[in-house]
Structure 1
């Protein structure tokens, strides 16, 4: 029998939006402003010092959705990054009747005991792909859900079809479920649903990402029975009820990786904490090939140095193929292309996880990067005697990680670089410019008077 028994009726009717209390209002920060914004970067500055890595965005989104499984007590979730996406997920939970209270320092108290709606706010759902995570907990707890499906044309089908089987109206019953691709979203959604399904559920070819393991650890702390998270086979024995718990989100490996690449692209030396080094092993291996020196200082501290005095010369190019974890993370591919444009020699990158994830290449070419694009593969001609540096100009972020790649390139470029589309970057990086400033970068956030820039626009 299929794991999901989901009576769905479309179209989705938008429920009334819950009005947050004073303590429930979103944190006011530069990331929460409605005006178009841009980063203005003066390149060529070396970085130094220590940067604090925020809690994992992807883990926090899944765990926040997982709080809907808890009908017997609130959960205190620590280390939630202050991001556009996490604020939107909190709004999704509120629209279902959950109480979400900000406790300060990245701590959220989520009480889902009074959740009664099975129709999350359509407006909030339209702002965040991860909002679809609420489907599993809602169906498991209430036997039905009415959830708008994200409209995203990406291979691996982030449109719900990979998750939903049959609608027979009899609730959830454990079953064997084999994923055709080890999708993180599918694995997490099924795992949450299976926590309260009747009997035993087995997920094979499951995603092994650290964020999956983190969600499983949270659910187990709430009384769930999950074995094998972090491997390709996960076994879940259903429970009738889950209770709340106190839980701390793991450090964000993609943010940490972005700062490691920032050190490399500026030929600098910085220290990062907290990090979980094994989560960053594939990136550390590539940076070591390039010539970077990476030293572990304690269980959760890394020092990354790309200073010529430490590396013995300039950084060298390398090849990589993106793969599901423990392979090289697709979310670090754009940043690596920026780095490789400044390294010696030719490099090749193959994007094998998602299609259409090379939008940043055109913008990097405006900065002077020599990149040849062929479908989902890119060949990068690095630093040569006739192509010594990137040159600042106006570029536009089209997505989260591509935007981060443009910021890194701007830090390495000669002159001034403007990066528009900062709202994309704010989805996944908490106070990015503030953290970079603390390391010595010359970067500031300004209102974008849109797309009228005094800087040259390359053609």
Structure 2
């Protein structure tokens, strides 16, 4: 898609429900491209309504192909768990078999800290840990969501204790930790700058509800503030929208929160506000 053409002037009213979080489901597993990646490896995946049943008991091909990985950078998230489970993995570099503007060096450095041997050959990452991964202290140069998630996924099956410092604190990281804990993983500190993981020999199947997509929810709240008369946004997590709601109210929008429903009404006149972005904390 090269452009979006938006024709304004209409009010928004009624009710809209927030979807499950794409960024939370990626490391846990529930989007189309990653489904293809896992299916190619040998996992059995079945959609049951709004649920996805994944049977990864047998993975005969621990390899993520370039033609699939190039369509979604987050496919790199299969590297950590494949390496921890099988002791080897082959994953194409994201972004069309080349390191692009969003490098994965923090992923690779972290896995090397856990004892992996990594080489880059013909656009592929070859990773081995023939004796298994060993828990270690990993300090990220900067907070990275997928880097934190990849190391968590690797460390839950590593031998001993892994400590991730300067970890990403986004709610999606916490959601992944909750899913892993329900599988039997031992994780402390998810959602803070330091995450401690006690490696386990085996994990068990689990049933996990994906958190609401906070980006989609925020987008709907902004739309309601611009044209809501009113707009009811249901299913979002109000705590994740706290800063945005404060700004929308400061601009003059009326935002009412009741359990999982946020009611947004546009103001007669907007007031200016200052906004400064920063890493999530």
TM-score w.r.t. length of structure 2: 0.88
C-alpha deviation, 1:158, in angstroms: 3.7
Verify: 1:244 aligned to 2:205, yes or no.
yes
| Structure 1 CA distance for aligned equivalents of residues 109 and 87 of structure 2 | 19
Of the two, which has the highest radius of gyration?
A: 1
Query: Could you tell me which of 123, 148, 160 is aligned with 2:67?
Result: 123
CA contact (8 A) 1:59 1:249 kept: yes
Query: Could you tell me which of 17, 21, 41 is aligned with 1:56?
Result: 21
Any runs of at least 4 consecutive aligned residues in structure 1 with deviations exceeding 6 A, and if so which?
Answer: none
C-alpha deviation, 1:39, in angstroms: 5.7
C-alpha deviation, 1:119, in angstroms: 0.8
CA contact (8 A) 1:102 1:109 kept: yes
Query: Could you tell me which of 74, 80, 85 is aligned with 1:141?
Result: 85
CA contact (8 A) 1:195 1:239 kept: yes
CA contact (8 A) 1:56 1:249 kept: yes
Verify: 1:318 aligned to 2:273, yes or no.
yes
For the residue of structure 2 that corresponds to 1:235, the secondary structure is strand
C-alpha deviation, 1:266, in angstroms: 2.4
| Structure 1 CA distance for aligned equivalents of residues 250 and 202 of structure 2 | 49
The aligned counterpart of 1:181 is 142
In structure 2, list runs of 5 or more residues that go unmatched.
118-128
CA contact (8 A) 1:162 1:186 kept: no
| Structure 1 CA distance for aligned equivalents of residues 228 and 90 of structure 2 | 51
| Structure 1 CA distance for aligned equivalents of residues 5 and 147 of structure 2 | 38
CA contact (8 A) 2:169 2:280 kept: yes
| Structure 1 CA distance for aligned equivalents of residues 264 and 78 of structure 2 | 38
Query: Could you tell me which of 264, 276, 279 is aligned with 1:304?
Result: 264
Corresponding residue pairs, total: 263
The structure with the largest strand share of the pair is 2
C-alpha deviation, 1:320, in angstroms: 1.6
Deviations 1:45-70 (A, max 9, x none): 00011101000000011111xxxxxx
CA RMSD of aligned residues (A): 1.9
Tell which has more relative contact order, 1 or 2 (C-alpha 8 A, sep 6+).
1
Verify: 1:101 aligned to 2:46, yes or no.
yes
Verify: 1:154 aligned to 2:101, yes or no.
yes
CA contact (8 A) 1:284 1:294 kept: yes
TM-score w.r.t. length of structure 1: 0.55
C-alpha deviation, 1:93, in angstroms: 0.7
In structure 1, list runs of 5 or more residues that go unmatched.
1-35, 65-79, 81-85, 309-313, 327-459
